[in-house]
């Protein structure tokens, strides 16, 4: 080992990979995809800080429009002679496959870094397994697997040197989330070590092979059958010698660091009779399990696969103990239709070849069982692996189940193995802590800082992993922290914590927060209760646990303190300080200094005020911590089942709701057996109403005396938790003081029989406060005020139950002409998982109120597909007739084509239905009542965008369903009955974000718009890739700081609307509900009625903008007033009337762009860090917005008198 100064740091897997990749490459082409995006973000930041690579240059980091584009750029940069890399996963890796074949086929050295993630099949999943990596086996890339953060760093470095010499590209992969996002303390590689791992002669060889007109060559030829086969075989020697070259660099690395890797590393008993073969993070779980089992008298071992491709048989058998008689091969992927999964087949083939070569006797052939584990980051624990070892050891070979599964209950094909959950392989020296937080309350961020403090300040080995649900800000988070003086493996969730923190009191009784807690453990609760009442929320079983296990319980009202200080709902620092105080990891003065340092590092970009507020929170938090007295008995406590009352319209889904939704809501979805899950991934809608998350800290309280019945609050509510309703007075059963109403202002309600009310759904509201901010009120007094939840929760629950009895306003009062009348319609999008204050959902909600009962929605992957389509609770719902949006998601890049395909299919089925209608209308045998109903069916072109015609046709179709029943299938009546639904017009809406519309899906979107087909496109423009964490898109405005734009976006925003208008026959609108809700309604109504392609580009506030989401509409208004966003509508139909089709709906900018910039952290950050650059961008952007408005205004003023229709 060379003499080096050893530096240790707490980092995650993505950081480990990015640090090496940036240091050892010259060009980095990137595109965001979860969970690999941070590698690109880190590289971009390093280059923006002028961090040089080991060759003394600053690498060029360049964002492309898609993963396919990134791999194309990599291919081009490599071909031109630069060391180049990229980062990706899942569908992104699949888009790179064509280029990977080319790169490998041209014997081009490179290393791709992949945080392995599930490939979307029956559903999208952002979590980790090896299904994406396994798709690359034929590309010619070598495949190198890393188990943890240290190995990612080390093997990335080894792979770089190996690939350069071998002339074979490498794919270095690790488990998405489990390893990419887990934080551990590791020994960092120095630049000297990395420099020593590459040989300049091989870099020079690569340069000389580069495409260059000074010594011209041609590559990428077309070859015919006469030579192609020979060309492929000519590459065999390169792959044959690759394992030896890999060994060479592993040996060199050992000399430099003292750490040795092999193609296959064995850990366990020298005389093991049972061995597991595995790769990725499961290798560490296996090592920990093997050590524990061997201490108990087992003879087991694990082969950790490092070099998976090329798979070297000789090296595999060198690692395998000769005593092994039973082999378990575990794959983290499912390959349907194959006789086994990839790693299993490789091991079986290796054993058979060993026998054929005479290197193993048939009598010595071990029994080999294949197993599948950990799909989509499903837990893989020592208990599960012990179950597999016990099974293969104790079960006769002829009775064993091959291709078994671990960690699930397979009650369909019965391939799952049982295991004892109580088995624990963790050393007793490891301290384990769990934190139950709420997305955006800062819990995860604080715990990431805690890991670094424990590792870097306390000098302990530390590990942190963070579990999220899909609810964005406002979802459940569970942080798992371990620390010890000894090394930590354990890449799985904590099941036996020493410490449990409950940051949201509503989790008590709904989540099993005390499951597995150790005797003498500590519990910290954030709650408004006094210490003597703190346990009142706990069910009886939890109080029994507290008493029996002698737990210490502490309480703090962190939300009260945070609001008093001015931090809103950010309770992270308060709870973090309490954690350090209660665990005693560091003396108080040391942990306070460390927390203050982390506050400054974390919040410096948000300004000195935010830093000081958090320091104040740290100091005041310690003083508010109180110990809770523990009762002697549980006699005053009860256990109550969390019962779900299934609505009458959902009775057909009652078993699904109780068997699937209920355990998922309890954060207990891992226990659901296979038979309960829809095999095709198709789920019922309208099920978020059963969640009742009750996450709000404050709720809106309606004061009817100040209400003008404008329903603006209902319009802007992101979660449809505020509803405008009109009830007949006779239908209301609660007294006025419990269900306050107003006389509904309408010309047909002079007698006042109909009553108006604003109803809050208290357990579905997120407490964002947007409704409060838009409420105009009367005489300077608002009709809505935000109050502490507990003060109105029970009365609101009672009034909401009353509202649900007669929730549908009379049809005669509902109209799409005004906001107040369309808001009386039932929203068919409710209680989604979007962030509090989300700027996307109001647009989609409005669309469902206009057309939701006959909408087919194609949704691009992105924020809207996550808050709108995360199983099993679905926010798109049905009306009283059972109708509602039919929603589908294909991929990120193909949404426009997906939606266009839907339109083509619906048009075809419409054609069949109307052809049958025409035949029946002219057939002499058609009965009069059928004829009457058929004549009530309006033509499709009349139904489009016409509420009355849609309702008329719907009623006729309902009659036909009854009248056509009983006819033979072959008759015209029987055939029409099969297609009768398609007599009704179906609107196709294609919905997605700017990452899809401006970047990866733009080609398809352009084609779909150009098709002139009857499609409606809704672009939810947040101006960043919101779903993957805020990376820049072509929609990002100049000067905005985003991930992949650490020094601000350097070019202007793409004008998608202008590009769409260039076709001349596409309806185009630019809207912002925060600035002009009437214009938004008008545009959406016009787009729905337009007989062709339409696109609405909708300004959408986002938490990534760095704003107070409560005031999102104010920011939207300022965007319009400053010219940052223009409101307009372009209706090609007007041109035929000699009218200009373009109408500008916003005024010329009246406020400076600086006013808008100063309200958003995405612009402020650059002003603070690089004021000169920021000023240059601001000046350029200010000219741009003024010129853009003038240009649009000029187009809108053009005469169309001579237009030829």
Write the CB contacts of 738 (distance below 8 Å, at least 6 apart in sequence).
Answer: 795, 798, 799, 802
Candidates 479, 485, 517; CA nearest to 498 is 517
What's domain 8-215+227-255's superfamily in CATH?
Thiamin diphosphate (ThDP)-binding fold, Pyr/PP domains (3.40.50.970)
Per DSSP, the residues of 28-78 read EEE---TTTHHHHHHHHHHHHTT---TTSSPPEEEE-SSHHHHHHHHHHHH
How far is Cα 528 from Cα 790, in angstroms, rounded to an integer?
9
Question: What is the share, in percent, of the chain residues with pLDDT greater than 70?
Answer: 100
**pLDDT for residue 1:** 53
How far is Cα 267 from Cα 814, in angstroms, rounded to an integer?
71
Inform me whether the pLDDT recorded for 1068 exceeds 70: yes
Inform me whether the pLDDT recorded for 911 exceeds 70: yes
End-to-end CA distance of the chain: 81
Inform me whether the pLDDT recorded for 391 exceeds 80: yes
Q: Is 689 left (phi over 0), alpha (psi -120 to 50) or beta?
A: alpha
**pLDDT for residue 315:** 98
**pLDDT for residue 797:** 97
How far is Cα 897 from Cα 1005, in angstroms, rounded to an integer?
7
Q: Do domains 263-405 and 431-627 have the same CATH topology?
A: no
**268: helix, strand or coil:** strand
Per the annotation, the verdict on 600 as an active-site residue is no
Tell me the per-residue pLDDT of 986-1042, one tens digit each, with 9 for 90 and over: 999 999 999 999 999 999 999 999 999 999 999 999 999 999 999 999 999 999 999
How far is Cα 497 from Cα 33, in angstroms, rounded to an integer?
33
Residue 1111 has what DSSP assignment?
A: G
Cross-strand partners of 88: 114
Residue 35 preceded by cis peptide, ω within 30? yes
Per the annotation, the verdict on 67 as an active-site residue is yes
Helices (H), 176-326: 191-196, 200-208, 228-233, 236-240, 242-257, 282-295, 313-319
Catalytic residue among 14, 15, 34, 1101: 34
How far is Cα 59 from Cα 815, in angstroms, rounded to an integer?
58
Tell me the per-residue pLDDT of 232-281, one tens digit each, with 9 for 90 and over: 999 999 999 999 999 999 999 999 999 999 999 999 999 999 999 999 99
Contact at 8 Å (CB) between 998 and 851? no
**231: helix, strand or coil:** helix
Catalytic residue among 41, 63, 67, 1110: 67
How far is Cα 235 from Cα 785, in angstroms, rounded to an integer?
73
Write the CB contacts of 780 (distance below 8 Å, at least 6 apart in sequence).
Answer: none
Tell me the per-residue pLDDT of 657-671, one tens digit each, with 9 for 90 and over: 999 999 999 889 999
Catalytic residue among 1027, 1028, 1036, 1080: 1027
How far is Cα 872 from Cα 190, in angstroms, rounded to an integer?
47
Dump strand ranges (E) for 541-687. Answer: 552-556, 626-627
Sheet with 264-268: list strands edge to edge: 264-268, 300-305, 274-278, 326-331, 367-372, 404-405
How far is Cα 579 from Cα 561, in angstroms, rounded to an integer?
16
Helices (H), 1032-1089: 1056-1061, 1077-1089
Per the annotation, the verdict on 117 as an active-site residue is yes
Dump strand ranges (E) for 626-781. Answer: 626-627, 698-702, 722-728, 742-743, 754-760
Helices (H), 923-1041: 928-935, 940-943, 947-963, 972-979, 994, 1002-1010
Per the annotation, the verdict on 309 as an active-site residue is no
CATH of 1023-1197, one of 3.30.1330.20, 3.40.50.970, 1.10.760.10, 3.40.190.10: 3.40.50.970
Provide the pLDDT confidence category of residue 643 given band limits of 50, 70 and 90. confident
| Phi, psi at 1154, each rounded to 5° | -55, -35
Cross-strand partners of 875: none
Tell me the per-residue pLDDT of 977-992, one tens digit each, with 9 for 90 and over: 999 999 999 999 999 9
Question: What is the share, in percent, of the chain residues with pLDDT greater than 90?
Answer: 93
**pLDDT for residue 93:** 98
How far is Cα 755 from Cα 38, in angstroms, rounded to an integer?
53
Mean pLDDT of the chain: 95
Provide the pLDDT confidence category of residue 2 given band limits of 50, 70 and 90. low
Tell me the per-residue pLDDT of 322-349, one tens digit each, with 9 for 90 and over: 999 999 999 999 999 999 999 999 999 9
Provide the pLDDT confidence category of residue 4 given band limits of 50, 70 and 90. low
Pairing of strands 461-468, 183-188: antiparallel
- CATH number for the segment(s) 431-627: 3.40.920.10
Catalytic residue among 117, 184, 332, 903: 117
Provide the pLDDT confidence category of residue 470 given band limits of 50, 70 and 90. confident
How far is Cα 1146 from Cα 1123, in angstroms, rounded to an integer?
9
How far is Cα 378 from Cα 389, in angstroms, rounded to an integer?
19
Tell me the per-residue pLDDT of 863-883, one tens digit each, with 9 for 90 and over: 999 999 999 999 999 999 999
| Phi, psi at 139, each rounded to 5° | -70, -25
| Phi, psi at 852, each rounded to 5° | -60, -25
Inform me whether the pLDDT recorded for 423 exceeds 60: yes
Provide the pLDDT confidence category of residue 897 given band limits of 50, 70 and 90. very high
Provide the pLDDT confidence category of residue 608 given band limits of 50, 70 and 90. confident
Ranges of each domain in the chain = 8-215+227-255, 263-405, 431-627, 897-983, 1023-1197
**pLDDT for residue 1205:** 79
**pLDDT for residue 3:** 57
Contact at 8 Å (CB) between 788 and 679? no
CATH architecture of the domain covering 263-405: 3-Layer(aba) Sandwich (3.40)
Provide the pLDDT confidence category of residue 638 given band limits of 50, 70 and 90. confident
3-state SS string for 465-496: EEEECCCCCCCEEEEEEEEECCCCCCCCCCCC
3-state SS string for 321-351: CCCCCEEEEEECCCCCCCCCCHHHHHHHHHH
Tell me the per-residue pLDDT of 195-246, one tens digit each, with 9 for 90 and over: 999 999 999 999 999 999 999 999 999 999 999 999 999 999 999 999 999 9
């Amino acid at each position: 080992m060379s003499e080096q100064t050893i530096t240790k740091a707490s980092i995650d897997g993505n950081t480990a990979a990015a640090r090496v990749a940036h240091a050892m490459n010259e060009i980095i082409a990137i595109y965001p995809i979860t969970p690999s995006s941070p590698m690109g973000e880190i590289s971009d930041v390093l280059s923006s800080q002028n961090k040089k690579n080991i060759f003394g240059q600053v690498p060029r980091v360049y964002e492309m429009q898609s993963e396919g584009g990134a791999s194309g750029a990599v291919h081009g940069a490599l071909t031109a002679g630069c060391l180049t890399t990229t980062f990706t996963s899942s569908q992104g890796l699949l888009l790179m496959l064509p280029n990977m074949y080319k790169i490998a086929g041209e014997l081009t050295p490179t290393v791709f870094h992949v945080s392995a993630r599930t490939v979307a099949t029956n559903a999208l999943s952002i979590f980790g397994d090896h299904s994406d990596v396994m798709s690359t086996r034929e590309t010619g890339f070598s495949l190198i697997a890393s188990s943890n953060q240290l190995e990612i760093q080390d093997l990335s470095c080894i792979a770089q040197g190996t690939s350069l010499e071998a002339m074979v590209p490498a794919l270095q992969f690790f488990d998405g989330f489990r390893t990419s996002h887990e934080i551990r303390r590791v020994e960092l590689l120095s630049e000297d070590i990395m420099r020593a791992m590459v040989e300049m002669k091989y870099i020079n060889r690569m340069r000389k092979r580069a495409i260059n007109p000074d010594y011209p060559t041609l590559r990428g030829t077309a070859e015919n059958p006469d030579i192609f086969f020979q060309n492929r075989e000519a590459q065999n020697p390169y792959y044959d010698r690759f394992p030896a070259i890999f060994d060479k660099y592993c040996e060199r690395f050992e000399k430099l660091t003292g750490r040795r890797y092999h193609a296959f590393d064995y850990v366990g008993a020298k005389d093991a009779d049972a061995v597991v073969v595995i790769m990725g993070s499961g290798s560490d779980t296996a090592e920990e399990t093997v050590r524990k089992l061997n201490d108990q008298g087992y003879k087991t071992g694990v082969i950790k696969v490092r070099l998976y491709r090329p798979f070297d048989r000789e090296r595999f058998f060198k690692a395998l103990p000769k005593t092994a008689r039973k082999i378990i091969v575990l794959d983290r992927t499912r390959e349907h239709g194959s006789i086994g999964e990839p790693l299993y087949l490789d091991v079986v083939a290796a054993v058979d070849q060993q026998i054929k070569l005479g290197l193993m006797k048939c009598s010595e052939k071990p029994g080999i069982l294949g197993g599948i584990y950990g799909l989509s980051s499903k837990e893989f624990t020592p208990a599960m692996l012990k179950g597999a070892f016990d099974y293969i050891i104790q079960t006769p070979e002829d009775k064993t189940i091959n291709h078994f599964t671990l960690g699930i209950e397979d009650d369909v094909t019965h391939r799952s193995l049982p295991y004892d959950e109580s088995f624990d392989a963790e050393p007793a020296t490891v301290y384990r802590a769990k934190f139950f937080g709420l997305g955006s309350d800062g819990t995860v961020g604080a715990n990431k800082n805690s890991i670094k403090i424990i590792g870097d300040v306390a000098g302990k080995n530390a590990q942190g992993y963070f579990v999220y649900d899909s609810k964005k800000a406002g979802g459940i988070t569970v942080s798992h922290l371990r620390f010890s003086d000894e090394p930590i493996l354990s890449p799985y969730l904590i099941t036996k914590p020493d410490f449990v923190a409950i940051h949201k009191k509503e989790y008590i009784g709904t989540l099993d927060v005390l499951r597995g807690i150790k005797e003498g453990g500590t519990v910290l609760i954030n709650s408004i209760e006094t210490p003597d009442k703190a346990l009142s929320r706990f069910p009886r079983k939890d109080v029994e646990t507290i008493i029996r296990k002698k737990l210490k319980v502490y309480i703090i009202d962190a939300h009260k303190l945070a609001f008093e200080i001015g931090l809103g709902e950010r309770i992270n620092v308060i709870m973090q300080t309490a954690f350090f105080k209660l665990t005693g990891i560091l003396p108080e003065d040391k942990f306070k200094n460390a927390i203050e340092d982390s506050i400054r590092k974390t919040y410096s970009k948000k300004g000195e005020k935010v830093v000081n507020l958090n320091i104040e929170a740290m100091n005041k938090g310690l003083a508010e911590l109180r110990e809770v007295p523990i009762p002697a008995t549980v006699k005053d406590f009860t256990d109550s089942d969390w019962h779900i009352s299934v609505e009458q319209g959902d009775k057909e889904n009652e078993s699904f709701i109780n068997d699937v939704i209920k355990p998922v809501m309890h954060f207990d979805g891992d226990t659901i057996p296979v038979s309960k899950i829809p095999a095709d991934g198709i789920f019922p809608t309208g099920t978020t109403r059963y969640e009742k998350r009750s996450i709000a800290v404050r709720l809106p309280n309606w004061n009817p005396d100040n209400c003008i019945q404008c329903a603006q609050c209902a319009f802007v509510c992101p979660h449809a938790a505020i509803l405008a309703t009109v009830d007949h007075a006779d239908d209301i059963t609660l007294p006025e003081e419990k269900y306050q109403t107003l006389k509904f202002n309408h010309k047909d309600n002079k007698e006042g029989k109909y009553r108006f009310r604003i109803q809050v759904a208290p357990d579905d509201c997120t407490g964002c406060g947007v409704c409060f901010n838009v409420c105009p009120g009367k005489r300077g007094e608002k009709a809505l005020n935000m109050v502490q939840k507990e003060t109105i929760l029970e009365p609101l629950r009672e009034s909401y139950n009353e509202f649900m009895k007669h929730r549908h306003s009379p049809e005669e009062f509902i109209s799409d002409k005004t906001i107040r009348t369309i808001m009386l319609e039932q929203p068919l999008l409710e209680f989604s998982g979007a962030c509090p204050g989300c700027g996307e959902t109001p647009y989609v909600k409005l669309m469902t109120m206009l057309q939701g009962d006959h909408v087919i929605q194609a949704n691009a992957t992105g924020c809207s597909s996550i808050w709108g389509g995360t199983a099993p609770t679905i926010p798109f719902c049905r009306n009283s007739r059972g109708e509602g949006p039919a929603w589908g998601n294909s991929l990120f890049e193909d949404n426009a084509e997906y939606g266009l395909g839907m339109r083509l299919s619906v048009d075809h089925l419409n054609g069949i239905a109307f052809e049958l209608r025409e035949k029946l209308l002219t057939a002499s045998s058609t009965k009069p009542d059928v004829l009457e109903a058929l004549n009530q069916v309006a033509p499709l072109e009349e139904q489009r965008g016409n509420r009355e015609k849609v309702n008329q046709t719907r009623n006729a179709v309902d009659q036909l369903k009854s009248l056509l029943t009983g006819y033979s299938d072959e008759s015209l009546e029987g055939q029409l009955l099969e297609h009768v639904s398609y007599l009704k017009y179906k609107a196709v809406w294609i919905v997605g974000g700017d990452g899809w519309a401006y970047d990866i899906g733009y080609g398809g979107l352009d084609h779909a718009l150009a098709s002139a087909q009857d499609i409606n496109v809704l672009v939810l423009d947040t101006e960043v890739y919101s779903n993957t964490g805020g990376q820049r898109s072509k929609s990002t405005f100049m000067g905005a700081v985003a991930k992949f734009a650490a020094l601000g976006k350097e070019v202007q925003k793409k004008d998608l609307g202008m590009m769409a208008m260039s076709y001349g026959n596409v309806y185009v609108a630019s809207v912002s509900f925060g600035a002009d809700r009437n214009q938004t309604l008008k545009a959406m109504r016009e787009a729905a009625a337009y007989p062709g392609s339409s696109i609405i580009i909708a300004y959408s506030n986002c938490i990534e903008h760095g704003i107070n989401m409560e005031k999102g509409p104010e920011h939207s208004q300022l965007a319009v007033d400053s010219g940052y966003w223009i409101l307009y509508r372009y209706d090609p139909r007007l041109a035929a009337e000699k009218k200009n089709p373009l109408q500008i709906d916003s005024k010329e900018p009246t406020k400076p762009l600086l006013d808008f910039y100063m309200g958003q952290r995405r612009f402020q950050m650059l002003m603070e860090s690089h004021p000169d650059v920021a000023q240059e961008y601001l000046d350029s952007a200010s000219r741009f917005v003024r010129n853009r408005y003038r240009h649009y205004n000029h187009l809108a003023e053009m005469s169309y008198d001579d237009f030829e229709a």
